[in-house]
Structure 1
């Protein structure tokens, strides 16, 4: 029952994050309601669990690529917390110190909640990885979500990233953020006996810019 409450809180947090980010976009003149209505049915589309779409965005709703994949099992949910929420946290570190005040103020609460999601993932990754009955499932599931998360950070040396850094909307190159994420995950995975899979990037297929989830 406690875990049901925790998962419900995580879902509630993510809905709040979307509401906050939609509010920022609306303040800039974006027709948020129109965009959501136009893509309402597309938002529910998912690929097969074993699909590999690389870095493609295969629909018009502009979602972060990783959200095309279904979360079908408890291990999927946990390693999403462990990998993707951590990846988002590394990207949001730049936002916390950027030059656009409304974004900075909005992100602070989101950042704290993402840290809670990451801690939840770490707690359960340890349990799954250190239990002989679930270790193999943990390793396989980790491999899936780690690769998918590595694809979200964008290309190194992108022109858009350079422009964003010029205006201090970002502080680091995309690949610097990715490498910082990868180093942390390697340490965390090693502590519980998980092996980090090899990620072989095809740079020209990566999105030019990082995909920052709220």
Structure 2
């Protein structure tokens, strides 16, 4: 059994953890939690994006969307494979959990219903993935994941650039720009939630202390805004955040966190801020597309089980 002090000394010396026996139980459990969120997020994005890709404006755009979906499934496979190497039953994890037990961000449970919403998701959600996994890639102490993320980091960058390119195209058409603004209005703040609880409420601290990642939730949220806000402003799109020269930080200009009407895709900012416990309750209940998306993943497995049993 590796002691906590020996593990921390190894990490501080810049040595990577290569196998479970090089770490202790707390490190492995923290690593598993982090990998499950990453794997579930990549996996659920596939049916979420496929749903909206049906609205692609032409065959080339549709093929590009399918390429992104293929990448996301590959990223999910990487994370689930790492979990399997840690002794996790990944078949049960993917095919036997109830939809509400998946650990992907709530944003994916709000259905993407148009090409416009898909490309904003690429620019916002994939940028969040790029920020989060880029941080893990640069700082993680777990060697197998660090090496695997070389490929993932490059592909997530392509996904967000795809979103930026299409947002720039749509912004040139006044009618499509209005549609684009409506998508930004609800998706921007959902992506702010993507980074999790603020630092003073964070429940699991081993991600930082054991070097599983390098930056805190609030720091990563700031990093996401530092590129997203200027990009949207360059297209003449309104976002509820601005840069404060005095503090050197981005400031959110609406109540945050806030109540969200998922069916109408509308933030109820007029009701003022809510607590993060209320946000956690919404996350636990999941959103309107949760059952549909997980069902799309699990359907073939369930059909095969029924065929074998008959």
**Structure 1 Cα separation of the partners of residues 276 and 75 of structure 2:** 31
2:74 to 16, 20, 38: 16
Q: Displacement of 1:173 after TM fit?
A: 1.3
Aligned residue-pair number: 190
Q: Displacement of 1:194 after TM fit?
A: 0.5
Q: Displacement of 1:161 after TM fit?
A: 5.3
Larger displacement relative to structure 2 (190-199 or 70-79): 190-199
CA contact (8 A) 1:147 1:199 kept: no
Report the equivalent of 2:155. Answer: 113
1:96 to 114, 133, 137: 137
**Structure 2 Cα separation of the partners of residues 96 and 64 of structure 1:** 20
Task: Label 1:106 to 1:5 Cα distance change in 2 as closer, same or farther (>3 A).
Answer: same
What does the per-residue CA deviation read over 1:125-153, in whole Å, with 9 as the maximum and x for residues that have no partner? 11112211211111111111111111111
1:201 to 244, 256, 260: 256
Report the equivalent of 1:33. Answer: 91
What does the per-residue CA deviation read over 1:46-67, in whole Å, with 9 as the maximum and x for residues that have no partner? xxxxxxxxxxxxx122232112
Compare relative contact order (CA 8 Å, sep 6+) and give the higher one, 1 or 2. Answer: 1
CA contact (8 A) 1:161 1:170 kept: no
Report the equivalent of 1:53. Answer: none
CA RMSD of aligned residues (A): 1.7
5+ residue gaps, structure 2: 1-58, 241-252, 258-274, 281-310
Match runs of 1:24-173 below 5 Å: 24-39=82-97, 43=99, 59-97=100-138, 98-157=140-199, 158-160=201-203, 162-173=205-216
Q: Aligned to 2:174, what secondary structure does the other structure show? A: coil
**Structure 2 Cα separation of the partners of residues 161 and 139 of structure 1:** 36
**When you count helix as a share of all residues, which structure comes out higher?**
2
What does the per-residue CA deviation read over 1:23-77, in whole Å, with 9 as the maximum and x for residues that have no partner? 01111111110122213xx55xxxxxxxxxxxxxxx1222321121111100110
Q: Displacement of 1:174 after TM fit?
A: 0.6
CA contact (8 A) 1:161 1:174 kept: no
**Structure 2 Cα separation of the partners of residues 101 and 60 of structure 1:** 28
CA contact (8 A) 1:161 1:173 kept: no
Q: Aligned to 1:144, what secondary structure does the other structure show? A: helix
Q: Displacement of 1:156 after TM fit?
A: 2.5
Larger radius of gyration: 2
Q: Displacement of 1:113 after TM fit?
A: 0.6
